[in-house]
Structure 1
Amino acid sequence: MGEDQIKRRTTVTINSQSYVISGKVDVGHIHEVANFVDQKMKEMRKISPYLDKTQLAVLTAVNISDEYLRLKKQLEQERQKKDGEK
């Protein structure tokens, strides 16, 4: 089994809750993702301090998904524009 196929486990903290996450990616990447989610949750909590944990998690997921889809669409448009210039 190659080094890139080994599942790695690490503990991260998101919204003051510990989670054990395993994956075939670098542990540093897992921590980077967890820190990003934690930061987004903190931003949402500032905007809407009365959300319960489930509402906070869902709204954070919606905001991250919106950001991702907008960037994906922008990248696709830039690729199409670049392909059109060839």
Structure 2
Amino acid sequence: MADKEKTRIAVDIYGQTYKMVGKETSIHMRQVASVVDDKMREISSHNPTLDSTKIAVLAAVNSVHDYLKLKEQVEQMEIQLKKLKG
């Protein structure tokens, strides 16, 4: 995909501005940034002494955990669907 076809936006995450470039719509990219910002603020509210780097790592760990749990659920549902069709 050519650079001119990519979406380029500036987003605010945890008080910092980041430039995002990607194939998705700006709405999707802003939603991603918003979820990351919300997760970081949630972690910070429970752990006010952590610095932003640690908060970012914990947000990433939490997000990957959520992703893996959802992936596992989808795989289980696919197995159940195959059994029902079988």
**Structure 1 length-normalised TM:** 0.91
Q: What one-letter code is carried by the residue in structure 2 that aligns with 1:62?
A: V
- Once the two structures are TM-superposed, the CA of residue 55 in structure 1 deviates from its matched residue by 0.5
Deviation of 1:38 after TM superposition, in Å, equals: 0.3
Q: Which residue in the other structure is 1:45 paired with?
A: 44
| Correspondence for 1:20 | 19
1:17-41 deviations in whole A, cap 9, x for unaligned? Answer: 0001111110111000000100011
Hey, what does 1:30 align to over in structure 2? 29
Deviations 1:33-79 (A, max 9, x none): 00010001111011111111111000010001101100110111011
Percentage of identical aligned residues: 42
Question: Where does structure 1 lack aligned partners over 5 or more consecutive residues?
Answer: none
> d(CA) in 1 for partners of 2:23 and 2:55?
28
5+ residue gaps, structure 2, are none
Moved over 6 A (4+): none
Structure 1: which amino acid aligns with 2:6? K
How many residues are matched? 84
